[in-house]
Structure 1
Amino acid sequence: MAVLGALPPGVRCRPIREADREGVVDCLCRGFPERDRSYWIQALSRLSQRPPVAEFPQYGLALEKADRIVGVVLTLYTSYPGQQGDEVRCNLSSWSVDAEFRPYGAKLVTTILKRRDVTYTNISPAPATLKANWALGFRPFTTGLFAFLPAFSPGISHSSALRSCRVLEARSDLAEMAMLSDGERYILSEHAALGCLSLICICNGAAFPFVLMPRRIWRGLIPCYQVIYCRSLADLSRCAGAMGRFLLRSGILLCVVDAKESIAGLFGWYRHNRGLKYFKGPRPPSLGDLTFTELVIFGP
């Protein structure tokens, strides 16, 4: 059972510092032997380039014993502008604790979870940690994945106006970028720099932003795009046909998006209990919003 009380003498929980990089990578390699060391080196490098959010840690927290890193949890904090002030979201990732100190591993997470004004997410929980997630108050904000063929999706409406939607790849010099909010322009530009496909769909004089991430699913056999950002699943359905025709240029037929059921207007199938993702806090992320999470920053 996880120990939530005081740590034993000589063991302390503290923010990860820049000088800890090698020790953190060593610990993560021990905890995730299936990952190459270069994966974690890139992960920490990208975390170092993220803009700091208030007083929150840049990298996450570590358990330390005699100047040796024996436990790690990485944190990806992002501030989103909202109608009632900025909303802070934290994606918890890569929870790894050496076997000898595993009873104290929950201390890493409970220390982070003290802020009630922050929404915390866990988008890739290991099966062995699910009971701990529930005990810590995490609940699913998605119950499965919806795989769909956008080029064959009729959308919510069959009007000729919607069939004539055009799709553009987002660029800083694109005039249509001005049709989006500052926050959406930032999301599109930052995710494009991280290797995602950032798109703007223009329909009936309105602009709809989307971010898609290239993936390979079903044991790496099938290329597809995962929806990283859309304003709503209704917008995704509205623009799916136009996006699908755009994606056909690169030979991609399939997309996947987090969902709780089949999505009206999209031609595809819902897979229950696939890709479950969890949250704790005042506001769960919208379905179709995985912006600035480990999936994008670290890679699949």
Structure 2
Amino acid sequence: MAVLGAFPPGVGCRPFDEGDWEGVADCLHRGFPERSRGYWIDALTRLSQRPVVADFPRYGFVLEKSGRIVGAVLTLYARHRSLEGDEIRCNLSSWSVDAEFRPYASRMIATVIMRKDVVYTNISPSPGTVKLNKAFGFRLFSGGQVAFLPAFNSVPPSDRVLEAHAELAEMAELTDNERYILLEHAALGCLSLICICDGVALPVVLKPRRILHGLIPCCQVVYCRSHTDLVRCAGAVGRFLLRRGKLLCLVDAMGPVSGLSGRYFPKKGIKYFKGPKQPSPGDLTFTEMVLFGS
């Protein structure tokens, strides 16, 4: 039974810091035994290299009993700038609570998501956390994925793709936030691209990954302005990827995307959000997909 009242004596939830890494890694390894303990130390190390956003925790929160860590959730905060103002997002990642203390998991998450001005996301929910998501008012922002072959789209002769870097002149045609996204994700191992289509610069970020038990290489769309813009530059992107031995791409969506040569898989890679603004289609910037390769 979920507990939403106060924690009992000796049980509490708090942000954690570097001094808690060993206990957090142990807890996450217990919850996700398919991941090595070293995987979680590496994940925490990557978080330590990211900038702190305002007064939000750098790493996440723990549930503890008399000083022993019995639950943990990683919180990946990022600031997004736009003409409408700053937006803070938080990707909730790697929820784990020891079996004996799972009745307090909902109380822990309630503590984590208490800010009304933050957009919270869960992009890899387990069956148990789906129920918790719905109980806390999370809503779908992706109900499935489109697997598509961009090289099958036509390519106008003038279209071209450039790999983003700070000195590239075409970077000036993007917004400050888009330039930041491209450069940061390139440093994190993504393909950060500027597609020049009919003279218009369109940003696209792709995360190389492997699917079907690691047998099939592909690229996950991490950022694009819209599905419409993705279709517009798909052919040029496909030609760019083909030269690098990649054929298949994935993009999150609520249904089939007209203009992409592929198939929609409902309920594949579902993703949830809670907060004042729904993430744009295919926007996985600064999430666990990028930082941890999940």
What is the TM-score with the length of structure 2 in the denominator? 0.97
**What is the deviation of 1:33?**
0.3
CA contact (8 A) 2:153 2:260 kept: yes
State the SS of the aligned residue for 1:2.
Answer: coil
Matched, 1:173 2:173: no
- Residues in 2 aligned to 1:92 and 1:184: alpha-carbon distance in whole angstroms: 23
The 2-side partners of 1:270 and 1:235 are apart by: 18
Amino acid across the alignment from 2:250: V
What does 1:76-87 align with in structure 2 at a 5 Å threshold? 76-87=76-87
Q: Which residue of 1 aligns with 2:123?
A: 123
Name which of structure 1's ranges 163-172 and 289-298 shifts more when overlaid on structure 2. 163-172
CA distance in 2, matches of 1:180, 1:241: 21
Q: CA deviation at 1:173?
A: 2.1
Task: Spell out the pairing of 1:227-242 with structure 2 (5 A cutoff).
Answer: 227-242=221-236
For 1:222, the equivalent position in structure 2 comes to: 216
| Mapping 1:174-189, distance limit 5 Å | 174-189=168-183
1:69 lines up with 2:86 in the alignment: no
The one-letter code of the counterpart of 2:62 is A
Preserved CA contact (<8 Å) 1:163 1:242: no
Q: Which amino acid aligns with 1:147?
A: A
Q: Give the Cα separation in 1 of the matches to 2:44 and 2:149.
A: 35
Query: Aligned partners of 2:191 and 2:82: how far apart in 1?
Result: 25
In 2: Cα distance, 1:287 partner to 1:176 partner: 24
Deviation at 1:260, TM superposition (A): 1.4
Matched ranges for 1:156-171 at <5 A: 162-171=156-165
Tell me, yes or no, if structure 1 residue 297 matches structure 2 residue 294.
no
Moved over 3 A (4+): none
- Stretch of structure 1 that moved more, 280-289 or 214-223: 214-223
Cα distance between partner residues in 2 of 1:191 and 1:108: 31
The residue aligned with 2:17 is 17
In the other structure, the counterpart of 2:258 is 264
Equivalents in 2 of 1:62, 1:254: separation in Å? 38
- Alignment match, 2:40: 40
Q: What does the per-residue CA deviation read over 1:125-181, in whole Å, with 9 as the maximum and x for residues that have no partner?
A: 001221111111111111110011001024xxx8xxx44201011122222222222
1:71-98 C-alpha deviation (Å, 9 max, x unpaired): 1011011111133321111111111111
What SS does the aligned partner of 2:121 have?
Answer: strand
Coordinate RMSD, CA, aligned: 1.2
SS class of match (2:243)? helix
Contact 2:71 2:96 in 1 (8 A): yes
Q: Post-superposition shift, 1:205? A: 2.2
Q: Distance in 2 between matches of 1:119 and 1:96?
A: 21
Secondary structure of the residue aligned to 1:105 is helix
Secondary structure of 1:20's counterpart equals: helix
Q: How does 1:184-195 map to 2 (within 5 A)?
A: 184-195=178-189
State the distance in 1 between where 2:39 and 2:201 align.
36
> Which residue in the other structure is 2:3 paired with?
3
In the aligned structure 1, how far is the partner of 2:141 from the partner of 2:61?
25
Q: Which string of whole-angstrom CA distances, capped at 9 and with x for unpartnered residues, describes residues 272-297 of structure 1?
A: 11110001111110111000001111
The equivalent of 1:57 in structure 2 is 57
Contact 2:209 2:293 in 1 (8 A): no
Give SS of 1:125's match. Answer: coil
Given candidates 251, 258, 269, the residue that maps to 1:275 is 269
Residues 62 and 69, structure 1, Cα contact 8 Å, conserved in 2? yes
Pairs aligned (count): 294
How many percent of aligned residue pairs carry the same amino acid? 67
Q: Report the 3-state secondary structure (helix = DSSP H, G, I; strand = E; otherwise coil) of the residue aligned with 2:92.
A: strand
- Measured against aligned partners, the alpha-carbon deviations of 1:26-78 in whole angstroms (never above 9, x if no partner) come to 11111110001221111111111111111111111111222211110110111
Contact 2:81–2:177 at 8 Å: present in 1 too?
Answer: yes
Q: Deviations over 1:210-260 (max 9, x none)?
A: 110111112222111000000111111000001100101111111010011
- 8 Å Cα contact 1:163-1:241 kept in structure 2: no
Look up the SS of the partner of 1:128 in the other structure. helix
Query: 1:25 is matched by which residue type in structure 2?
Result: A
Deviates more, 1:213-222 or 1:236-245: 213-222
How far, CA to CA, are the matches of 1:248 and 1:298 in structure 2?
Answer: 26
